[in-house]
């Protein structure tokens, strides 16, 4: 950036001004008028980003672009529903949600289940563009653009490829549908935003999940499939709202020793925070994620009782030691036969995609100011309950 350009460029605080983000979205979609939703979430997030995230200028520019796109997506979805009124009655079938704390193997399982021809696992490009045409050529353009985003992310956070590999044409987390409502703990993974996290925990996400369901209808209208399989570890923070919105859903709940999961979550957060900020305090990361995971687990028994839906509990060690056998258990649970073709595809994928295919990385709880032995004591009850 030249000196003249730098002098006229907006500051980081200005980049996170919610009103200017709204105005930019209106310029991109002039027919949006004043009809944007979930602006309270945008406001809470922008305030936290401005005061707490310590983003670099480049990180703030990229983040702002994503917030603008979420507003644009709202317009595109609404327009798509008006142009194709049949989408409103599009069935979502009996969807399956893969849930569990972060870093419990949800990504691995989702990618393996996507090999089954009778399971419909939306890919990253679809989740980034929930409303779009049925034209395959246009879909390829959207996928290429999504892959360009992935490559940019890898350049800004190089360790991401090892910690959480992404591919535009592979399944990804449906938190991307909730980010269009500015309501998801994924923002805690991407940024240091403690005040936004506290705001989030006071919200009822029922309406946001209804928007999630609307977006899923658009995705299934564009490319039909059989049983939708979605995944997002952050669903357990709002499992009650998810269950109210999808009363027909089934759940696959992955369990890992939280002492391992907390340290791994801290590692992921450090990588993500570092992609947008030059100021990442590992001990701050550790305090934040330990506190939030403890809070979640404290209310988990109550939430599970309230949901009263079919849940298949899977241990992380069983998933990693006998992945094919675990997939067979899941197929039995969701009443989807493991056909010869499905078995062939699953086995081929496992052979071609071993664990740590993109490299290994090391970390310890102590790097984040945590004590591994103390974590074991804190989570002893959970470990006994689920045999992890």
All domains of the chain in start order, with CATH: 7-386 (3.40.50.300)
Helices (H), 308-388: 316-321, 323-333, 340-352, 372-378, 380-386
Find tokens 């988990």 and name the residue: 300
Express each pLDDT in 241-297 by its tens digit.
999 999 999 999 999 999 999 999 999 999 999 999 999 999 999 999 999 999 999
Both structure tokens of 321: 């030691």
Q: Which residue has the higher pLDDT, 7 or 155?
A: 155
Question: Across residues 118-145, what is the average pLDDT?
Answer: 97
Q: How confident is the model at residue 8 (pLDDT cuts 50, 70, 90)?
A: low
Give the Cα separation of 365 and 374 in Å (integer): 10
Give the Cα separation of 17 and 190 in Å (integer): 19
Give the Cα separation of 384 and 294 in Å (integer): 16
Burial 304-328 (b: 16+ CB within 10 A, else e): beebebebbebbbebbeeebeebbe
Express each pLDDT in 188-233 by its tens digit.
999 999 999 999 999 999 999 999 999 999 999 999 999 999 999 9
Give the Cα separation of 355 and 320 in Å (integer): 8
- Helix (H/G/I), strand (E/B), else coil: 59: helix
Give the Cα separation of 47 and 58 in Å (integer): 18
Which pLDDT does position 165 carry in this prediction?
86
Question: Across residues 306-330, what is the average pLDDT?
Answer: 92
What does residue 281 show for φ and ψ, rounded to 5 degrees?
-100, 110
Tell me the sheet residues that pair with 228: 120
Above 50 in pLDDT, residue 133? yes
Which pLDDT does position 34 carry in this prediction?
63
- Helix (H/G/I), strand (E/B), else coil: 312: strand
Which pLDDT does position 6 carry in this prediction?
52
* End-to-end CA separation in angstroms for the chain: 52
Average pLDDT over the chain reads 92
Question: Across residues 93-115, what is the average pLDDT?
Answer: 94
Q: How confident is the model at residue 333 (pLDDT cuts 50, 70, 90)?
A: very high
pTM, to two decimals: 0.93
């Amino acid at each position: 950036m030249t000196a003249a350009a730098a002098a006229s460029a907006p500051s980081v605080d200005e980049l996170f001004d919610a009103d200017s983000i709204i105005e930019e979205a209106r310029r991109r979609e002039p027919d949006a008028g004043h009809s944007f939703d979930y602006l309270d979430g945008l406001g809470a997030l922008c305030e936290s980003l401005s005061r707490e995230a310590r983003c670099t200028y480049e990180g703030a520019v990229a983040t702002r672009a994503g917030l603008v796109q979420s507003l644009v997506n709202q317009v595109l979805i609404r327009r798509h529903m008006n142009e194709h009124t049949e989408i409103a009655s599009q069935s979502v079938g009996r969807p399956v949600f893969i849930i569990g704390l972060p870093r419990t193997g949800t990504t691995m399982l989702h990618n393996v289940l996507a090999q089954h021809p009778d399971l419909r696992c939306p890919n990253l490009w679809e989740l980034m563009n929930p409303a779009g045409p049925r034209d395959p050529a246009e879909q390829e353009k959207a996928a290429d653009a999504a892959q360009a985003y992935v490559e940019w992310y890898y350049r800004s956070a190089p360790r991401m490829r090892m910690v959480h590999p992404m591919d535009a044409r592979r399944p990804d987390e449906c938190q991307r549908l909730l980010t269009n409502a500015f309501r998801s703990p994924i923002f805690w993974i991407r940024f240091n935003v403690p005040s936004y996290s506290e705001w989030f925990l006071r919200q009822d996400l029922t309406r946001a999940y209804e928007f999630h369901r609307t977006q899923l209808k658009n995705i299934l209208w564009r490319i039909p499939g059989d049983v939708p399989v979605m995944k997002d570890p952050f669903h357990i923070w709002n499992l009650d709202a998810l269950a109210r919105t999808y009363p027909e859903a089934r759940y696959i709940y992955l369990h890992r020793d939280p002492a391992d999961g907390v340290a791994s979550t801290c590692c992921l957060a450090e990588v993500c925070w570092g992609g947008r900020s030059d100021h990442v305090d590992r001990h701050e990361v550790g305090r934040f994620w330990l506190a939030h995971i403890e809070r979640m687990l404290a209310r988990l028994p109550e939430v599970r009782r309230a949901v009263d839906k079919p849940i298949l509990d899977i241990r992380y060690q069983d998933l990693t030691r006998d992945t094919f056998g675990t997939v067979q258990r899941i197929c039995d649970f969701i009443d989807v036969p493991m056909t010869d073709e499905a078995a062939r595809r699953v086995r081929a994928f496992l052979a071609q995609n071993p664990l740590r295919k993109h490299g290994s990385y090391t970390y310890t709880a102590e790097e984040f100011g945590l004590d591994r032995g103390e974590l074991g004591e804190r989570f002893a009850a959970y470990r006994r309950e689920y045999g992890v």
